[in-house]
């Protein structure tokens, strides 16, 4: 049975698109047929992060409006057989997302995919509401920072009141906390909220902690989701988060600063 996942946060710029690209890639690496959908109408960016920006012909809105068939708008990832991207429109606005239209596309995707991952825009308006409305799972992307935690709490409230599952009185949307841009050194110095604090405040299960990492910028520069970067700790953290999502018991890594012994420093310099 196909599952719909929303990557949401309330607050902008916390890492939803990065995480959508990384998580969908991780699911496809595990052999699941996965489609990642950009709901940020007017501010298309997922295509860049996925590295398929040159191949966009039709988009989500074209499909909603009946101007193109779904299979014509889906872009097949060049690296992974099981991964598809449904880009959004750069020229229209969020009003183009009608509930009926989104539902039709979601139903059609469900017939063909194991996982449909919706990359939500920031905020709690139409685009964000449509991205979360049909979700079975919500991954709440949060930075260890006060305004981000507050906005995550707000979006949890929206999930519990305005999602399809809430409106129809079905089992609630399953919530997962993904703490991103975690800087263990600053946490250790007491300059940043630690993972326990954030989890305690939001009290939803912890899916993963993604460290602040230069590999994320590099990945976006070249249009290759960080999950595919074998050497980066962020890539490892995303792969682990996918494993946990699939029910595996994996220890959380990168919660402590890396030991910076002399040997480490020398090794690092030569690496």
Ligand X SMILES: Nc1ncnc2c1ncn2[C@@H]1O[C@H](COP(=O)(O)OP(=O)(O)OP(=O)(O)O)[C@@H](O)[C@H]1O
| Residues of the shown chain interacting with other proteins in the complex, contacts defined by CB under 8 A | 48, 53-59, 62, 67-69, 71-72, 89-91, 217-218, 220-223
Closest contact distance (angstroms) between CB of 87 and other proteins is 8
Closest contact distance (angstroms) between CB of 210 and other proteins is 19
11, 16, 126, 181: residue in contact with Mg ion (rule CB under 5 A) = 16
Is 181 one of the binding residues for ligand X (CB under 6 A)? yes
Pick one of Mg ion, other proteins, ligand X, none as the site partner of residue 71 (Cβ within 5 to 8 A by kind). Answer: other proteins
Closest contact distance (angstroms) between CB of 222 and Mg ion is 18
Is 44 one of the binding residues for ligand X (CB under 6 A)? no
Is 26 one of the binding residues for ligand X (CB under 6 A)? no
Is 216 one of the binding residues for ligand X (CB under 6 A)? yes
Nearer to ligand X, 151 or 175 (CB): 151
Is 240 one of the binding residues for ligand X (CB under 6 A)? no
Closest contact distance (angstroms) between CB of 263 and ligand X is 26
- Where in 102-161 is the site for ligand X (CB under 6 A)? 121-122
Is 220 one of the binding residues for ligand X (CB under 6 A)? yes
Closest contact distance (angstroms) between CB of 58 and ligand X is 22
Q: What is the DSSP string of the chain?
A: --EEEEEE-SSTTSSHHHHHHHHHHHHHHTT--EEEEE--TTS--HHHHHT-GGG--S-HHHHHTTSS-HHHH-EE-SS-TTEEEE---SSS-GGG--HHHHHHHHHHHHTT-SEEEEEPPSSSSHHHHHHHHT-SEEEEEE-SSHHHHHHHHHHHHHHHHHSHHHHTT-SPPEEEEEEEEE-HHHHHTTSS--HHHHHHHH-S-EEEEEEP-HHHHHHHHHT--GGG-TT-HHHHHHHHHHHHHTT------S-SPPP--HHHHHHHHH-
Contact between 144 and 152 (Cβ < 8 Å): no
Closest contact distance (angstroms) between CB of 231 and other proteins is 14
- Which residues contact Mg ion by CB under 5 A? 16-17
């Amino acid at each position: 049975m196909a599952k719909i996942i929303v990557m949401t946060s309330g607050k902008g710029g916390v890492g939803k698109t990065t995480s959508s690209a990384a998580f969908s890639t991780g699911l496809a690496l595990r052999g699941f047929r996965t489609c990642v959908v950009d709901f940020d109408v007017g501010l298309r960016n997922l295509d860049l992060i996925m590295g398929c920006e040159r191949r966009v012909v039709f988009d989500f809105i074209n499909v909603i409006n009946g101007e193109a068939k779904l299979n014509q708008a889906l872009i097949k990832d060049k690296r992974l057989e099981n991964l598809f991207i449904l880009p959004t429109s750069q020229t229209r606005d969020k009003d183009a997302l009608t509930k009926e239209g989104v539902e039709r596309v979601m139903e059609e995707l469900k017939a063909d995919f194991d996982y449909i991952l919706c990359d939500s825009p920031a905020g709690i308006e139409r685009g964000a509401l449509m991205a979360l409305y049909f979700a079975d799972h919500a991954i709440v992307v949060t930075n260890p920072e006060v305004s981000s935690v507050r906005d995550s709490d707000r979006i949890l409230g929206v999930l519990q009141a305005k999602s399809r599952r809430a409106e129809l009185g079905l089992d609630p949307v399953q919530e997962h906390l993904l703490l991103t841009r975690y800087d263990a050194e600053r946490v250790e110095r007491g300059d940043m909220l630690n993972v326990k604090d954030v989890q305690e405040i939001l009290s939803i299960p912890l899916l993963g902690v993604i460290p602040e990492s230069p590999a994320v910028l590099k990945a976006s520069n070249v249009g290759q989701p960080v999950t595919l970067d074998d050497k980066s700790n962020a890539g490892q953290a995303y792969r682990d988060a996918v494993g946990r999502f699939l029910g595996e018991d994996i220890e959380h890594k990168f919660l402590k600063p890396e030991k910076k012994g002399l040997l480490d420093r020398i090794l690092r310099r030569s690496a």
